[in-house]
Chains A and B, each alone.
Chain A
Amino acid sequence: MSHHSKANTLSVLLSLIFTFMILTILILLIGKDPVEVYSLIYNDVFTSGYGIGQTLFKATPLIFIACGLAICFHASLFNIGAEGQLNAGSFVIALTAVQIESLPLILKLLICACAGFAAAGLVGLIPAVTKVKKGVSEVISTIMMNFVVLAVINYRMVDFFAVKSTLRTVSIGDDSLLGKASDLFPFFEGSSLNVSFIAALVVAALVYILIYKTTFGYKLRAVGFNETASRYIGVKVNKMILTSFFVGAGITALVGINYIFGYKGYYELGFSNNIGFTAIAVSLLAKNNPVGIIFSSILFAALDYGGLAVNQLIPKEVMLVVQGLIILSILSSDSIVQSYFKKRGLI
């Protein structure tokens, strides 16, 4: 292992330990027994097939979104607009699926995935274009795009697409739903884990190769490290910004496959529940490495599901505190570890 990856692993570990300590103090302050809380979480999340299944099911969308974001983050593009991008993508997936109901499932999936990818990608392309053309900060424009996209979907929904007196689209039909894990492995009985989890793992592997092994990935990271040098070397920086935004945003749309084809069968307003923001933290925790993202997604999903499990003892919002703490502590432990390694001339 190189000193760089050692430093990265060390700072992630440090921040997790720190978070765990603060969480323990927090539970004590609430007046509960930490041992009791932890054992409850452990039992619920890790010992039952249902718990494991639910955790992996909740991790699936995080993997998709965080992988998309990682592409942008590697180019130093702070895409805060995943929430809007994934909603646009999922909405289009739901609408497309209804239109092509008669096609075979595999073809339907492919067409829907492409349509969703394009829709989310185009939403991502808008801040990229304003950045390239006019130097508008992508942080501001992507945040604002979230509001715009959600408002537009809301408007189209209510007036045209919603099933009467609901906030959801027409169902794609039960025979269009993906196979559940429990169909093959009864162990997962009752959980919503489905084939999309495998798809998420494949996407993570592909994004890993894209970022670390291809010409595109090297240019992407070069732009992230040093935009000026990239220009002098001859990398087409503007093209890289546009492409990484399109691809990164496009991937977030795959969340819709998990939710619509794998779970509910329709798009529903508010289904995403700010997962587009949580995914930022997930990617950050994994240092934007897609393989790491699989693990940090599972960690965040476990916290999310574990929060539900212990809701009787402590408010589940404590888990939100934990997610925030992880990010704060990783940012500070990063600089501590970096300076420790630098002082010793290791990196």
Chain B
Amino acid sequence: MSKVEFKNISKRFGSFLANDDISFGISGNTVHCIVGENGAGKSTLMNILFGLMKPDSGEIIIADKPVVFSSPHEAITAKIGMVHQHFMLIDDFTVLENVILGDEPVKGLSLDLKAAKEKVDALIFQYKLDINSSEKVTDLSISMQQKVEILKLLYRDSEILIFDEPTAVLSPVEVSSFFKMITSFKESGKTVIVITHKLNEVREIADKVSVLRKGRLVYEADNVSGNIDINELSKAIIGGAELIKIRPKSNSNSMKKPLLRLVDVSLVRGKRKMLDGLSLELFNGEILGIAGVEGNGQSELADIVCGIEREFTGTVELPDERASIVPDDRLKKGMIKEFSIGENLVLKKDGNSLHRMSTLRKASEEVIAEYEVRAPGPDIKTGSLSGGNQQKVVIAREIASGRSVMIFSHPTRGVDINAEMFIHSEIVKERNKGKAILLISSDMEELLSLSDRLSVIYKGKIERTFDSNELYAESQMPEQQDHRKEMLINEIGKLMTGVSN
């Protein structure tokens, strides 16, 4: 019997299908890993289980009863707890105060701190959490803070514990002690759900694995004593079974010269080393793909190349003052949503000049026509356009700015298939004009179909770069090609997840 059962869960954001008819069960007393790329729908599914979102259709069944949570509070009452990727702690409170916040024991009118401390300390002892309940959170390391989050769940007697990317913030030693903790929860009868994309971790802790891709459940497997097939799993995650559609030719006869060169670049944010001696070269007329699990230094790399991040060590050589960038989050970083298309274009201008309504409108109309933007009129605020059309506006603006190095960071995330094809052809067009393009993506198909060379980034370093004759062999038979590609994807998948060493 399943402890939790998802039945035909679907969830749509605008035109984007985040969860597409997902059904599976999670047994009690197990560690169940949910695996998939960014945007595969893992977090959406967990947010639905935790009451942060409501599904458009389908239902969740817990202990044979269908439940509908309209808030996390109701989920917590049903003994479900979640540790988010970003901790939700109050720095100036002690561990104890953080744990009991929202569920404080009272004696008469006053807080019964003594009883609370006894209960919390007992839990710390029982699960060997090795943490002092009277210390302030601000003095704790990240892994200790994670333990506080876990204590919050235990204090509320949660039976089902959800962890969203729990090891992303931990060092290897901390990871192994975290795994021990997970095992002890399972042994004490709890159900643990872990969202992750690190495959060696899955092999180590999972009893069962479910793989999501593009909102669908594509693969399920049991993991008996660590014998799960990593190759099968990585193929399921990145969808290697589907054929690569286009292999754009780069014009190899033009003289190659490096436009962008990074040598031994390191960057520390807070206490974490985000880039660790990274070096790369990017030539004119090529697309260099950057593959990697998100959070391994891709966004820091982009920030440095486009001139926003300056606190790095090492050298960066660029032909212009900065590269232009199509950022990963178009609403937060890509555009001023209160402005029309034409007004967004104004921001690229140097110097100071007057802008008439009519010329701005004309600029909007040109973009709408050239980039097939679906907009009701030239004056519409870019915030009211759909995701794909917003992305086209951002790309139009960055191309128009005419820099020779361009960064595309997750250029087709959350856009529909037509916009995706259009954007891909624009990227290739710019490459053929001789621009140097850095393509950061977590979509393996996108990377393989566009990149002339492909680098795999892991923990702030380029693990390996595949050049074009490694990526593509022209004269082979189709079945050999397929085989080669499968090998390639396996190899990339392992490099990305750090399995290879």
Contact = CB atoms under 8 A, between A and B. Distances in A.
Query: Real complex partners, A and B?
Result: yes
Interface of A: 209, 213-216, 218-219, 221-222, 225-226, 228-235
A225 B308 contact: no
Contacts of B332: 226, 228-229
A215 B336 contact: no
Contact of A214 (B327, B339, B353): B353
Given A222-B339, A226-B332, A229-B335, A234 B348 contact: yes
11 contacts: A209-B354, A213-B356, A215-B352, A219-B347, A226-B337, A228-B333, A229-B332, A229-B334, A232-B333, A233-B334, A235-B347
A234 to B, nearest CB: 7
Given A218-B339, A218-B343, A233 B354 contact: no
B324 interface: yes
B348 A218 contact: no
B476 to A, nearest CB: 42
B342 to A, nearest CB: 10
A164 to B, nearest CB: 48
B355 interface: yes
A209 to B, nearest CB: 7
Contacts of B337: 225-226
B375 to A, nearest CB: 16
A213 B354 contact: yes
10 smallest beta-carbon distances between A and B, as pairs: A218-B346, A232-B333, A222-B336, A215-B352, A216-B352, A233-B347, A215-B349, A225-B338, A225-B336, A232-B327
A123 to B, nearest CB: 24
B403 to A, nearest CB: 9
B447 interface: no
Given A215-B351, A218-B346, A222-B347, A229 B333 contact: yes
Nearest to A222: B336
Interface in B388-423: 397, 401
B393 to A, nearest CB: 12
Interface in B285-340: 306, 308, 322, 324-325, 327, 332-339
Contacts of B351: 215
Contact of B347 (A209, A213, A230): A230
Given A225-B336, A226-B332, 6 more contacts: A213-B355, A214-B355, A218-B343, A221-B338, A232-B306, A233-B336
A215 B355 contact: yes
A215 B308 contact: no
A111 to B, nearest CB: 25
SS class, residues of chain B in contact with chain A: loop
Interface in B354-377: 354-356
Nearest to B346: A218
A222 B346 CA distance: 10
Interface centre among A215, A225, A226, A229, by most chain B C-beta atoms within 10 angstroms, is A229
Given A222-B347, A232-B325, A232-B333, A215 B339 contact: no
Nearest to B357: A213
Given A218-B346, A234-B322, A234-B347, A229 B336 contact: yes
B169 to A, nearest CB: 23
Contacts of B334: 229, 232-233
Given A222-B347, A226-B336, A214 B324 contact: no
A215 B353 contact: yes
Contacts of A213: 354-356
Contacts of B344: 233
A220 to B, nearest CB: 11
A129 to B, nearest CB: 18
B312 to A, nearest CB: 16
Contacts of A215: 346, 349, 351-353, 355
Contacts of B352: 214-216
A226 B381 CA distance: 14
Nearest to B335: A229
A168 B377 CA distance: 59
B336 A230 contact: yes
Contacts of B339: 218, 221-222, 225
A289 to B, nearest CB: 15
Given A213-B354, A215-B352, A222-B347, A234 B324 contact: yes
A112 to B, nearest CB: 26
A234 B394 CA distance: 13
B304 to A, nearest CB: 13
Contacts of A225: 336-339
Interface centre among A213, A215, A221, by most chain B C-beta atoms within 10 angstroms, is A215
Contacts of A214: 352-355
A334 to B, nearest CB: 15
Contacts of B397: 233
A229 to B, nearest CB: 5
Contacts of B401: 234
A231 B308 CA distance: 7
A211 B322 CA distance: 27
Nearest to B349: A215
A310 B456 CA distance: 77
A162 B337 CA distance: 53
Contacts of A234: 322, 324, 347-348, 401
B411 to A, nearest CB: 14
Nearest to A345: B384
A84 to B, nearest CB: 28
A229 B324 CA distance: 13
Contacts of A229: 332-336
A215 B356 CA distance: 11
B376 to A, nearest CB: 13
A233 B401 CA distance: 10
Nearest to B350: A215
Nearest to A218: B346
A218 B347 CA distance: 7
Interface string B123-144: 0000000000000000000000
Given A214-B354, A215-B353, A226-B332, A233 B348 contact: yes
Interface centre among A214, A228, A233, by most chain B C-beta atoms within 10 angstroms, is A233
Contacts of A231: 308
B385 to A, nearest CB: 14
Contacts of B308: 231-232
Contacts of A209: 354
Contacts of B353: 214-215
B343 to A, nearest CB: 6
Contacts of B343: 218
Contacts of A222: 336, 339, 347
B330 to A, nearest CB: 9
Nearest to A233: B347
A228 B332 CA distance: 7
Nearest to A231: B308
A216 B347 CA distance: 9
Nearest to A232: B333
Nearest to B344: A233
Interface string B272-289: 000000000000000000
Contacts of B348: 233-234
Contacts of A235: 347
A147 B397 CA distance: 46
A264 to B, nearest CB: 37
Given A228-B332, A229-B332, A232-B306, A218 B324 contact: no
A119 B192 CA distance: 65
Contacts of A216: 352
A41 to B, nearest CB: 39
Nearest to B398: A233
